[in-house]
Amino acid sequence: MKNLKTVFLPRMYEYIGAFLTFDCNLKCPYCINRFGDFAWKNPPLNYRPAEQWLTALTRIMGIHKTGTDILPVTLCGGEPTCHPQFYDIVRGLYEYGYKTDLLTNLSFNVQEFVDNVPADVFIREIYYPTIRVSFHATVMPNTKAFRKKFIDKVCFLRDSGYPIGIYTINTEEGIEANKSMAQLASVNNIAFYVKPYLGYDDNGVLRGRYTYPEALNEIKRKAKCRTRELLISPSLDIYRCHHDLYKDINPLGSLLDKDVSIDYMFRNCDNLGKCNPCDVKSKTSRHGTVGYTSVDIIDVVKEQETEYGFEKDFKSDSAGKNKKSGRKKRATRSTNAVQPDQTPDNQ
């Protein structure tokens, strides 16, 4: 295992997501991990040990460690701190010289965190907080006492030297709690970001901004797709997009395979139309460039048989109501988890 050969990361890659586990102590109704059955069915105790994670990640050449163009390893999930060896993984990455980002719901013991994780692993010159805490107004206790405790934990980490900010999704149900949290954040000088709701809302309207809105219209088509993201599942397989990751289909290999490679290339896909909003939305890159999208999609097959007959031009059913297919809105309240996003996309 220790002698696995180096894997080269294409220089066009912009993001490395290490999904340490799909397990989470919360069960948000809109969680993105519900998007694919696999993520929820995956046994919570099916953790890869820290040693394997470190073997897998440290064989990747191209995770820039220094300079102005550091490409961090983003630790995410689920709730990444649910991994029983979370601290071993972070410390191992630190010792190897990697910088990391962390997407978390802050349900861990902050004193234990400070005692175990060097702040330096999160510190680099970047315009957004590298520890991105998600505040889930609809599932966290809706009390002043809870919000006070939450902000106290954030302040404790900030005052201990960790770059940290709070992110939320502004759902109708959570609007008052979000306002209260925003006020607390402001008073305490903590960055607070509201992320856009993604996917179809209760009225069947597609919310969010997309480079490829037609990729969400639920009309399956063939196309070619190329990604700039390395998505690593809890079992250390790699995937080209969140759709495939959460459904556990079409893995490109395992980072524990001796011959695995990471290629910047177009691949055939049969699932355009069923894409995950995370992959096709217009967002802000880690360099602050607005309008960045994780994937490129080309060579779309214009006509394809569906269960409703032949659908012609998918552009006619791009943004907005999904009338053409006659389908109900998809269950994409599940696309609003704060965790999987690499940047504070709060435009």
**Angle (nearest 5°) at CA 194 between 233 and 202:** 80
Binder among 206, 215, 216, 245 for ligand SF4 (CB under 6 A):
215
Q: Does 272 bind ligand SF4 (CB under 6 A)?
A: yes
Binder among 58, 105, 233, 304 for ligand SF4 (CB under 6 A):
105
The contacts of residue 314 (CB under 8 Å, 6+ apart) are 214, 217, 219, 221, 273, 300, 302
Q: Does 181 bind ligand SF4 (CB under 6 A)?
A: no
Q: Which residues pair with 74 in a beta bridge?
A: 17, 101
For 175: left if phi > 0, alpha if psi spans -120 to 50, otherwise beta; the answer is alpha
Q: Which residues pair with 210 in a beta bridge?
A: 281
CB of 19 to ligand SF4, least distance (A): 10
* For ligand SF4, the closer CB: 244 or 311: 244
Work out the end-to-end distance of the chain between its first and last CA atoms, rounded to an integer number of angstroms.
44
Per-residue contact track with ligand SF4, 327 to 346, x per CB under 6 A?
A: ----------x-x-------
Q: Which residues pair with 7 in a beta bridge?
A: 60
- Whole-angstrom distance, CA of residue 248 vs CA of residue 42: 10
What is the size of the binding site for ligand SF4 (CB under 6 A)? 28
Nearest to 333 by CA among 29, 53, 107: 29
- Whole-angstrom distance, CA of residue 81 vs CA of residue 74: 13
Q: Does 33 bind ligand SF4 (CB under 6 A)?
A: yes
Alpha helices in the chain (DSSP H): 37-41, 50-58, 86-96, 110-116, 144-159, 175-187, 242-247, 277-280
Binder among 57, 184, 241, 245 for ligand SF4 (CB under 6 A):
241
CB of 240 to ligand SF4, least distance (A): 5
Binder among 102, 133, 275, 342 for ligand SF4 (CB under 6 A):
275
Q: Does 247 bind ligand SF4 (CB under 6 A)?
A: no
- Whole-angstrom distance, CA of residue 26 vs CA of residue 185: 22
CB of 95 to ligand SF4, least distance (A): 27
* For ligand SF4, the closer CB: 59 or 229: 229
| CA atoms within 13 Å, Cβ hemisphere of 248 | 14
CB of 96 to ligand SF4, least distance (A): 26
CB of 125 to ligand SF4, least distance (A): 28
Q: Which of residues 34-93 bind ligand SF4 (CB under 6 A)?
A: 77-79
Per-residue contact track with ligand SF4, 221 to 240, x per CB under 6 A?
A: --x-x--------------x
Q: Does 24 bind ligand SF4 (CB under 6 A)?
A: yes
Binder among 7, 18, 28, 126 for ligand SF4 (CB under 6 A):
28
Token duo for residue 341: 């996003």
The dihedrals phi and psi of 165, each to the nearest 5 degrees, come to -150, 165
Q: Does 140 bind ligand SF4 (CB under 6 A)?
A: no
| Residue ranges in contact with ligand SF4 by CB under 6 A | 24, 26-28, 31, 33, 77-79, 105, 134, 136, 215, 223, 225, 240-241, 243-244, 269, 271-272, 275, 279, 295, 297, 337, 339
